[in-house]
Chains A and B, each alone.
Chain A
C-alpha cells in the first residue's frame, strides 16, 4: 500500500526526525562523557603507579647522586689535606675549615688510627659514636644510617683514607654525616595533601619523620598496613623490603584508595616510598569530567534550542513556500479552467461551461435534488445583417451589447453564450423566483430598442417540470418559445436576417 506524501506527513517526519536527531546527539554526548570518566578512572591506577614509580625512582637517584657527590668531594678534600703538609692539630682544623667553604662539606671529619675524630672545632674519641669504626680495618666505602641522641637520623658516609698521613700519624677514614631532614628538604615536592614520600628502613621504619598520608602517617609501614592488606601481601612486601626489591601496594583506608610504590635507594639500606591518594585524583578528574559534562549539556541545550528554532523557521518557510506554490497552482488551474469555460468576446461562460453545468443539473434532476430551475434562451436579432452590412466589428459590438443587457437584468442567474447569437441563462433559487418579472422588464427594454434601432433580443423561457428528465427538456420548450417571440418582434419591426 502506497503512503501518500502529504504536507502533514512531511512536517511530521521533519519534526520526529529532528527530535530523534537531537536525542541521538544528547545520548551520544552523555555516553561519551561517561565513557571518558570511566576510562579515565581505569587509567588512574595505571598512571598513578607509573607516575609514582617514576617519582620514587627519580628521588632515589637524587639520593644516590647526593651520596656519590659527597664521596667525590670527600676524596678531593682528603687529597687537598694530604698535599698541604700539615704539621699540627691547629693547622688541620684550619684546613678542615677551608674545606667546609670550598666543598660545602659541613660535617666533614677525619679519623686517625686511634679512632680519634678530627673536625674543624673538636677532636674527640669516637669509637662509640660512629658505628663504621667498629670494623678493625676499613677497606671500602661505608654508608650507614645513624640515630643521633636527641636529633633526627643521619646518613653517615665514610671512606677509607689509606694514603693519608698528617704530622706523622696515619689516618684511617674520612666521613660526613648528612641530616636526613636536609635530604627530605632536597626531595620535597609541591603536591601536599595528595602525594607523599618517605624513606624507610628494611624493617619498614620511617627514617625521615615525614607523613606518608593520613593513614600510615609516620608509623612503621608494615605495622600500619597490617589491618588493610592481607597477610600474604604484607609478607611479600616485607620480603621485598628485606631484599631491596621494588614493588607497590594498593590499599583502601577510610574509604580512600591509596597506592604506594617503593624503590630501593642504591648504596643505602633505604627504601624510597611514594604514596598517592588515588581517590583525590579521581575526585579531581570527576570534577573536571562533571564540568565538561555540564559544558556539554549547555552546548546540547543550546544546540537543541537553536536547532528547534532553525527547524521551526525552516518549516514555516517551507509551509509558506508550499502555500505560495499551491496558490499559484490553484490560480493557474483556475485560469486554465476559466479560459476553457469563458467566452473570449463577452467574458461570460461559453458552451463548454454550459455543457458542464447542464451535466451537473441533469445529475441533480435524476437525484430529485432540485425543484427550482428555469432556463432562458436568448437570441440576438439582426446579427447576420449587421455582420453583412456593417462588418464583423459591428456584429461583435452587437453581441457584447446584447450580453451586457442580458447580464444587467439576469443578475441572479448564470449566463452562457452557447452559439454565435444565442445565450442561455440558468436560473435557480432567487433568480428563478424573479424570472418572470425580469423577463417582462427586459422585454420592455427590447421593444423600446426596436424603435431606437438598438440591440434586440428574442427571449424564450421555461421551468423544470416533474416530467422533465433533462435540462434539455426545459431548454427545448424555452427555445421554442424564443422562436415564437422572434416572430412577434419581427412584426414589431425588429431587424431580421432577411
Chain B
C-alpha cells in the first residue's frame, strides 16, 4: 500500500517522463547505445526534467495482466548468482506478484536461493537438487553461461520447464523457454563508459571492475566498456579485475589499482557491489578518480549524492521480479513465448547523476 501511495504521488511525473524518455532515452530496446545521445541526454535532463526520468527508473506500480492461470497453486524454484541486495530488490517484485496472485485465489510458493559467493559449481549443484523436486518451473540467473547453459538444455530435454531471469541469460541457442531481465547489459556498459569518457574529455587511464567471472551480465558490461574505450585513442585501460560481487574485494582491488596507477582517471564498475567498494577506496585515499557503476545500492546512491560516484545505471529490479513470477506462471501452464510473453522480456536501465541521487534515495528507500 505504501508503494502504491508513493507511486500515486509520482504518477504525474512518471507520465510526463514517459514523453521525455520517448524522445531522449538512450535505453530503448530498439536503439543501440550512442555516445553522443547519452551525453546529450544527461545534459538535457540535468535540470528540472531530470527528476522525471529518475522517478520512472523503477516502476513499482505493477498489476497482473488478464491471464487466467490454469491451476490454483504453483511451486517454483529460483536460483541466482549470489546473496546480494540487488537480488533482494528483485525478490520484492516477486513477492508483490505473489501477493497479487493470492488475491486472485492463486497460491504461489517458491524458493529463491543463492550461494554466499557467486559460483557456477554451486549453481550446478542447486539445479541438480531442484530438478528432482517437481517444481512447476525452475528459474535461473545464470552464474556462468558456458557452464550452466548445457545443464539447462539437459533439464529442458528431461521435461523440466526452465526459464532464466534477472541479469544474466544463458548462452545464445540455449533451450530455456524464456528470459526476463536485463537484455542490454552490453549497452549498459557502453552507456556508462561513454558518460565517463565525456566527463574525462575522451582521454585518460581507466580501470574496470567486472564482477563475477563468467557472469554474462558482468562480462557483457565489461565488453561494452572495453569496446567503447577502444574507440578513443587517448583512453587506456590499465587494469581489469574481478571482484566476485564482493564489496570488500572491490575495495581491496581499487586500493591496489590506485596504488599501481597513481594517476588513474576513472573506474568502470560493472555490477552493484563494486561501485561501493571503489567509492570507499577513492574516498579513503582522497583520489579524484571518476567512478561510474551500476545499480541502486543505498550506500552507492549516497556516494552519488556526495559526488564521489559520477553516475549509476539503475536497473528496474522490481519489474524484473514481478515479470519473472508472471511469466513463470504462464510457462508452468505450458505456454511458449508468443502473444502471452516475449522470449526475452525487456527491463530498462536508467543512468542517473548527482542531482538525481536524492530523488532516487527517496524513491527507493524513503531516505531524506
Contact = CB atoms under 8 A, between A and B. Distances in A.
Contacts of A123: 110-113
A121 B364 contact: no
A152 B83 contact: no
B111 A153 contact: no
Given A129-B91, A149-B88, A153-B366, A122 B1 contact: no
A116 to B, nearest CB: 7
Interface string A227-242: 0000000000000000
B306 interface: no
B333 interface: no
A368 interface: no
Interface in A196-250: 205-206, 209, 218-220
A105 B85 CA distance: 25
A147 B98 CA distance: 21
Contact of A181 (B1, B84, B85, B296): B1
B368 A128 contact: no
Interface residues of B, number: 38
B241 interface: no
A148 interface: yes
Given A149-B317, A150-B318, A209-B366, A93 B89 contact: no
A185 B112 CA distance: 32
Interface in B1-30: 1-3, 6
Q: Would you call the interface of chain A mostly helix, strand, loop, or mixed?
A: loop
B85 to A, nearest CB: 5
A224 B296 CA distance: 27
B363 interface: yes
A80 interface: no
Nearest to A146: B365
B92 A122 contact: no
Interface residues on A, range: 20 to 34
A126 B87 CA distance: 10
B154 interface: no
B2 A122 contact: no
Contacts of A121: 98, 102, 107-110
B196 to A, nearest CB: 26
Given A93-B109, A152-B2, A128 B365 contact: no
A153 B365 CA distance: 7
B13 to A, nearest CB: 16
A179 interface: yes
B367 interface: yes
A124 interface: yes
Interface of B: 1-3, 6, 58, 60, 83-85, 87-89, 91-92, 94-95, 98, 102, 107-116, 296, 298, 317-318, 363-368
Given A125-B83, A125-B114, A125-B115, 10 more contacts: A93-B109, A121-B107, A124-B113, A128-B85, A147-B367, A149-B88, A151-B2, A151-B366, A179-B2, A218-B368
